[in-house]
Chains A and B, each alone.
Chain A
Amino acid sequence: MMASDQRRWWPLPVVSLVLALATIAGSLFWTDDAFPIAPFRMFSYGNRPDTVVRDTRVEGELETGEEIRVGWAAVGLRRAELEGQTHPNRRVPDENLEGLARVYNERHDPDLVHLQVVVRRVNMEGGKPQPNPTFTVIGDWAAEGYDGERVEVDLPLDEPMPGYRR
């Protein structure tokens, strides 16, 4: 490489350095909102060994009476995305539930007439998962005229999740 080329290209390593420093700053001070220079915080939450591990699922009842597990692709979301917008120990706002049923029914037949967001809770002791998980309904939506069994979700509605600013 000619010395003149090095002089001409001096901004390139500076660009790389600025990018690296911005990524480091993102990790130290910023949040997911700053993606792609956000903190690398996947698996950064170290839950206590004696705690509850939750995961969320969507279940539904079709107008034929058949009960189904609603796949995530069917509602256009990933599990972590629904969880990220819904505190797992609180109820899912009704308007968000209606949206899940709406997008499912737009692309599937027969229609859903009843939809529930269910949290599976696994107790941990000393970091070891215990048997017999429990299930809690945190959201219950039904179409007009639905006369099946419903779950009264009376958990207090928490403040909205702070989203990417958390």
Chain B
Amino acid sequence: MTTVRNWWRSYWFEPVPAERMAVFSRIIHLVVLFTVFRTDRWVAQHAYAPEEYYQPVAIARILGLPAPDPGTMTLLQWVIGVSAVLAIIGPGGRAARSAINGVVACSYLTWILWAFSFAKVDHDRLTIIVTLFVLAAVPGVGRGRDALVGWGLRTVQVVFVLAYPLSAIAKLRRSGIEWVSSAVFARAVVRRGSALGDWLADQPSLLRAGQAAFITFEFAAVLALRRRGRVKVAMLVGIVLLHLFTYITVGIHFLAHTICITSFLPLERLHPRWRADRDERPSAGVESEGVGDERAVVGGVAPGA
């Protein structure tokens, strides 16, 4: 029992440098800006969609969220834009950062609800929604290793990785094992097209083999939730390759989801203060941790900056 409890605590509360969360937060908020003002501009166009096409999802109905119009959509974009910029560059202590990140999380959730309340849901957005609320709870202020940061990043990692086996389950639930021998990839290529995709469309056997490999890997990806080890690293590399394949063949990047893979990286190395602290330590450089690395805990929970 004690072993299980220790494992549980060490899995969820692995102390991680607060600087990692600070860098991760900036990356995520940059992606929020990039998606809202660049790749997701189709969402803003929903302000002009015929209202009879508005089919709010359950949360939107519960919240009583009306269909967007040009005024409310523009206002929402301003709120997301200003709050995300503040989240990236703004100074402030833990409470202020949490408040700003909370505004980003709530406004981005509204954006997503307006995006997917017209009869098409892109399921990958769960990850960034969870991430934004995690950043509101644990904004990554302070310095040194922090177990709360460890909890926040672990939560993001779990949601990120679960997307793959759950995608595989959704395929089996809807189509059965016949999904493997179906023409689902060929259909996607015909509808979306690309140079490589068009070539692959003429190789149905290759596409079917790809489907078998795809769904097998989706199940196996759960191994990326191991705390460390080569298998974990291999799975993360595989996830990157999987998304690269999807982007090259059908042009879908899942950016808001895929960027969350950075939660596995030792991002604190990009943080000037962490590098300065490391240089000052007598054992400079030996305590860095990355994917699959385990080091002794140094320091404790830092006070808010």
Contacts and interface: CB of A to CB of B under 8 A. Distances in A.
B45 interface: yes
Nearest to B129: A36
Contacts of A44: 167, 170-171, 173-175, 179
Interface in B39-55: 41-42, 45-53, 55
Nearest to B211: A46
A33 B57 contact: yes
B162 A23 contact: yes
A80 B120 CA distance: 6
A51 B191 CA distance: 14
B207 A127 contact: yes
Given A36-B112, A38-B121, A95 B52 contact: yes
Contacts of A124: 183, 186-187, 190
B207 A84 contact: no
Contact of A127 (B123, B147, B204): B204
Contacts of B159: 19-20, 23
Interface in A25-71: 27-28, 32-49, 51, 53, 55
B188 interface: yes
Contacts of B141: none
A interface, how many residues as a size bin? 35 or more
B78 interface: no
B297 interface: yes
A46 to B, nearest CB: 3
Identify which of B124, B170, B174 gathers the most chain A CB atoms within 10 Å of its CB: B170
Interface residues of B, number: 73
B241 interface: no
B280 interface: no
A81 interface: yes
Interface string B190-204: 110000000001101
A84 B55 CA distance: 11
Contact of A13 (B59, B151, B180, B201): B151
A55 B49 contact: no
Interface in A92-117: 95-96, 99-100, 102-103, 106-107
A115 B163 CA distance: 40
A126 B179 CA distance: 14
A39 B49 contact: no
B77 to A, nearest CB: 15
B179 A96 contact: no
B106 to A, nearest CB: 14
B182 A49 contact: yes
Contacts of B55: 85, 163-164
B30 interface: no
B40 to A, nearest CB: 11
Contact of A1 (B162, B173, B297): B297
A150 interface: no
A45 B175 contact: yes
B27 interface: no
Interface in B7-57: 8-9, 11-13, 15, 41-42, 45-53, 55, 57
Contacts of B178: 46
Contacts of A2: 300-301
Interface in A117-131: 122, 124, 126-129
Nearest to A41: B170
Contact of B173 (A39, A126, A164): A39
B15 A40 contact: no
Contacts of A163: 55, 119
A127 B45 contact: no
Q: Which 5 residue pairs across A and B have the least CB separation, nearest first?
A: A46-B182, A99-B50, A76-B49, A127-B204, A84-B119
8 contacts: A9-B151, A23-B166, A27-B169, A38-B123, A76-B47, A78-B42, A128-B202, A128-B204
